[in-house]
């Protein structure tokens, strides 16, 4: 009986790194699949994936926590998300801000909050956004079409308003009128239940005297917002006097609306306000007409009249030098 010949195993089973038969081997130009990698390689891959996940979480936390500066399309930012405390105005500071952005770009990020619509609501930085819009319209340069921003997550609307006020108090002093106006608008939108609560909530860090002055300007805002053409120029002294007068004469608000129309500059507007609130002189009581003098005619050619002061007057054709001499003699004899 002949011995059977022993066959050696195929080469792909004995190689240290072998190909796993599969459909890929039948397709020209495709690399064959390899066997599963050793456990060390799997561990290394898992570690790399975990590191990437950790980095991703860290980046996300930094972004959501406001520690990462984002570059957003300017058109994605809703500038009217909050009622602004600073009134729009074209002044030297605004012109200087535009020139700074033109020369150096944006140095200070704005603050935004994410909205349900996918857009971003502006919390602070209205002037920077407005200046960027002006530059984008003027130059057409793409660099002015984006804005650097920090993402904030205020738990309450009150926190968003407070962040806006605090940022503007630090960067650019607000006028008393602007401070009072944001209190009024926040109350109107239901953020605060009353002016008193709004004052405390937005300006709780201010002194009691300062809050009192802002409270006085609230009277002006409620009476004349929209009628004043230059409200930021209204100084403290005139503003407090105006508020006091409006409290004493509520009907004055309607008169002022017509009186202030057409004011061409702050000085003219303030002159009109001063004229309206200056104390009005008390009219003197009307004098009773003096009683008509009593006139007697003791003889032809002579009239005798007596005034209220006791004076006696002789008049008529017979009153001459001779009568004057006789009268003096009579008076002398009577003494």
Task: Please report which confidence band the pLDDT of residue 234 belongs to, taking 50, 70 and 90 as the band edges.
Answer: very high
Nearest residue to 245 (alpha-carbon basis) of 283, 276, 213, 222: 276
pLDDT digits (tens, 9 = 90+) for 250-265: 888 888 888 888 889 9
Res. 209: pLDDT tops 50: yes
312 beta partners:
306
pLDDT digits (tens, 9 = 90+) for 5-41: 554 444 444 444 434 444 444 445 555 555 555 666 6
Averaged pLDDT for residues 108-117: 87
Nearest residue to 213 (alpha-carbon basis) of 190, 233, 238, 194: 238
pLDDT value of residue 218: 94
In whole angstroms, give the CA distance from residue 269 to residue 44: 76
| pTM (predicted TM-score) | 0.50
């Amino acid at each position: 009986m002949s011995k059977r010949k022993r066959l050696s195993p195929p080469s792909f089973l004995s190689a240290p790194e072998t190909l796993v038969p599969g459909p890929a081997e039948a397709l020209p130009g495709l690399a064959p699949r390899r066997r599963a990698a050793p456990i060390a390689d799997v561990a290394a891959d898992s570690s790399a994936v975990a590191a990437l996940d950790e980095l991703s979480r860290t980046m996300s936390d930094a972004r959501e926590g406001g520690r990462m500066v984002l570059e957003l399309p300017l058109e994605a930012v809703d500038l009217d998300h909050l009622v602004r405390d600073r009134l729009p105005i074209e002044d030297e500071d605004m012109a200087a801000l535009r020139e700074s952005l033109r020369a150096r770009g944006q140095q200070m990020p704005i603050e935004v909050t994410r909205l349900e619509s996918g857009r971003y609501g502006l919390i602070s930085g209205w002037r920077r956004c407005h200046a960027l819009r002006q530059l984008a319209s003027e130059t057409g340069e793409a660099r002015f079409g984006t804005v650097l921003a920090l993402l904030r997550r205020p738990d309450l609307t009150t926190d968003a308003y407070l962040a806006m006020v605090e940022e503007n108090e630090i960067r650019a002093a607000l006028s008393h009128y602007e401070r009072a106006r944001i209190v009024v608008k926040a109350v109107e939108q239901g953020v605060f239940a009353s002016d008193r609560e709004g004052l405390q909530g937005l300006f709780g860090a201010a002194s009691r005297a300062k809050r009192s002055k802002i409270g006085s300007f609230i009277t002006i805002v409620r009476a004349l917002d929209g009628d004043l053409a230059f409200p930021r120029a209204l100084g403290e002294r005139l503003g407090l006097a105006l508020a006091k007068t409006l409290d004493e004469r509520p009907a004055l608000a309607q008169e002022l609306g017509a009186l202030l129309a057409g004011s061409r500059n702050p000085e003219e507007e303030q002159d009109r306000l001063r004229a309206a609130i200056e104390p009005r002189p008390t009219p003197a009581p009307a004098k009773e007409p003096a009683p008509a003098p009593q006139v007697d005619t003791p003889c032809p050619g002579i009239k005798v009249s007596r005034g209220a002061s006791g004076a006696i007057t002789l008049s008529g054709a017979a009153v001459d030098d001779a009568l004057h001499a006789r009268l003096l003699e009579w008076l002398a004899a009577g003494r």
